[in-house]
Each structure stands twice: as C-alpha cells, then as structure tokens.
Chain A
Amino acid sequence: MFLTYLRIGATGFGGPMALIGMLQEQFVERKKAISSAEFAEGVAIGQILPGPIAIDAAVYVGYRLRGWLGAIAGAVGLILPPFLIMLVLTPLYFEFGKVPQAQGFFAGLRPAVVAVIAAASWRLGKRGLKDKSGYLIAATVMALSLIFGNAQELAQYLPAIEPVAARARDLGSIALIVLAGGLGLLLPVGQPAKPPPEGEAPAKGGAA
C-alpha cells in the first residue's frame, strides 16, 4: 500500500484532481479496497479541511484500511517523492541560480508564477463566488490584503498607523481568513436570495 502511494506521489503531476483520480483508480477501481461512496467522503473531507485535498483523501483512505499506520503511509508516501525532488532542486538553485543564464531563466519564470497564482484565484472564484456576499467578502479581503502588504509605505503618509504597520503585514493573511469566515457567519453567503421551494436543497458551496 505504501508503494502504491509512493508511485502516485512520484507521478502526481497535474494538480489535486489528477492525484485524486489516481487514488480512486488504484484503491476503488483496481484493488476494490474501499467503496466509491467512502472514497467520496474522503474527498469531501479534503475539500472542507485546510491542506491539500489529495493528501487529506490519501490519509483518509489509509486510515480506513489500516488505521494509524495506513494514514501515515498515505501521507508519507504522497509527500516523500516531491520532498526528495525538492531536496535535489533547492541546492541546485542556490548553487547555480546566480549564473547569468539562470538569472534570465528565473526572470522569465516569475511572471508565469504570477500568472499561475492569478489563474488559481480565477478558478477558485468560479467555484466559490456565487452571489453578492461572496464577491463582497472576496473584494474586502483583497483590498485589506493589499493595504496590509503596503502598510509600511502607507505609514509614511499616515504616521498614526506606524506602530501597527509591520505587525499587519506579518499576520495579515491568517487574520484575513478568520475575518472572511466571520463575515460568512454574518452575511447570507451561498444562501438563496429567496427561500427555495419545498424540498429543494440550496446549492452546497463546498461540494463542487
């Protein structure tokens, strides 16, 4: 089982959904070790909880099949291959990153990283923003994050915020995630504007 996880971890390009597809193929379809309903539950857990969906699902499947050892096999098996690859790439980066050719390569690579992040936001938005409250929360968090990120520049014009400027940038993202959750409790996010007809469940946000 650990070897199966290792193989998936080593070949798991293509984002979380590709990894989940491989897990499903191995454990549900080929080995028939776990039912597809149980597997779906593992994926649902992954979507609700923080952390990569595929790791959560792998841990869940491992736990269901073999208890604690299975859970550890799932996590370690999936993480070990990328971890080792990173351990090879990182020293290479610090060894050769200052070579002029490498500088050119990385100067061209960074704009694409920005694009990857922007595209991720776009994809998350298509899935997660369904109504005005959702857009309001996203816009508020984005504006505050940009303000926090430039707080020290702003402090030059507004000396009053100087003492909190550095702190705001340090903890900004976690505070904003908690704020977004709090706003979710206050605003009707993901709720239909009018009560739905009897027997029709409102669209579930997390289960896309």
Chain B
Amino acid sequence: MELLQLALACLRVGTFVFGGGPALVPLLRDPVVFRYGWLTGDEFADAVALGQMTPGPLLVTATFVGWKVGTESGGVGAGLLYATVATVCIFLPSFFMTLAASHQLGRLKGNPRVQRFLRGVEAGIVGLVAAAAVQMGQDAIGGWPQGALCAAALIVLIRTKLEAGLVVIASGLVGLALTLAGVMGSAGP
C-alpha cells in the first residue's frame, strides 16, 4: 500500500516539476513530509543536500525517500525495491513527455495558449521555490550561527559560480567546527 502511495506521489511530482530541479523541493515536500510523514523536515533537508552532492539531477532525492520508506517496512530488500520504484516513477513522466513532444514541439511552441500557460508557470515556480526556502529556513535556522551560514552561503552562491554541492559540504564542515567549539548547539527540532 505504501509502495503504491510512494509510486503515485513520485509520478505526480515528476509530472509537475517544471523548470528543472528546484521545483522538486516544494513538490516533493508536500507528500513526503506533510501528507504521509515519511521524512521529518530535517531529514528532508538532508536528503536535498545529498541530492545536491551527487552528480546529475536533484530528482534523485526520491531515492533517499524510497530507501527510508522501504527499509522501515521490510528491511534492505524492500529498501532497494522502494528506492528503485521512487526513482523510476519520478523520472518517468518527463521521459514519456519528451518522447511525445519530440514529434509535437513545433505545435507546442507555436501555440500562444501553451506559451502563456508556461510563462505563468515559470513565474509561479519562482514564488513557490522562494516560499520553500522561507519555510525550510524557519526549521533550519535556529540561531545566529545558522543564520550567518545561510547568509554567507547565499552570497557565495549568487556571486560566484562555485558548485552548490561544495558550498553545502563546506557549510556542513563549518557547522561541525562550530558545534565542536561549543558555539552552535546541535540541531534541535
């Protein structure tokens, strides 16, 4: 039953993840954290971080979700199965849509209604992703050290072309140092 819920949730996310990776965060968070409670907010943020550190698209965050849901319901074997199903399902919609569109691109691009719908979506995603940043910030930033890390990372990401995965790891190492030095308390919920 959970496997079916997981598959359907990933298919839904895969169908609506316009604009590439970032929209994944609010879309996947809805079912995974809120609706089914498969991951805590902290675990979800960590899953996104791991997705960021791996090469390729952020959508592999779904693998993490599948592994956790699977291992909790039936050990390592189920973990592998659920992780595979989640990953396949999140990529499947865009796979089929690409094949369908490779014959229809001219019509899609020429249709003014499609154009305007997509421009609206493009603008909406900006707000959706911004709101996700605010909401996840409420959980992740519990004091001034975390606030400073977030601000510093944001400046680095916007001003330089440094790889996001590296910035995330660097910030983790600073967090580790600050925790060992007793400046920053370990993450409290």
Contacts and interface: CB of A to CB of B under 8 A. Distances in A.
Q: Tell me the dominant secondary structure on chain A's binding face.
A: helix
Nearest to A54: B57
B127 A172 contact: no
Nearest to B64: A90
B48 interface: yes
A22 B87 CA distance: 23
Interface stretch (A24-32, A78-86, A192-200): A78-86
Contact of A107 (B119, B134, B184): B184
Nearest to B36: A170
Chain B interface: which size bin? Answer: 35 or more
Nearest to A126: B126
Nearest to A9: B56
Interface in A181-206: 181-185, 187, 189-190, 205-206
Q: Tell me the dominant secondary structure on chain B's binding face.
A: helix
Contacts of B150: 111-112, 114-115
A76 to B, nearest CB: 9
A108 B162 CA distance: 18
B147 interface: yes
A172 B30 contact: yes
Contact of A110 (B71, B87, B117, B140): B140
B125 interface: yes
A120 B128 contact: no
Given A79-B60, A107-B175, A11 B55 contact: yes
A179 B117 CA distance: 10
B21 A56 contact: no
Interface string A1-35: 00000000111111110010000000000000000
Contacts of B80: 87
Contacts of A107: 146, 175, 179, 184-187
Interface in A88-135: 89-91, 93-94, 97, 100-101, 103-122, 124-125, 127-129, 133-135
B105 A41 contact: yes
A103 B176 CA distance: 8
25 contacts: A15-B164, A55-B94, A86-B64, A86-B67, A93-B50, A106-B175, A108-B171, A109-B168, A110-B45, A115-B157, A117-B25, A120-B22, A124-B19, A138-B124, A138-B127, A138-B130, A141-B123, A142-B131, A174-B30, A177-B124, A180-B120, A183-B120, A189-B116, A189-B123, A206-B122
Interface of A: 9-16, 19, 41-42, 44-46, 48-56, 59-60, 63-64, 71, 75, 78-79, 81-83, 85-87, 89-91, 93-94, 97, 100-101, 103-122, 124-125, 127-129, 133-135, 137-143, 145-146, 149, 169-174, 176-177, 179-185, 187, 189-190, 205-206
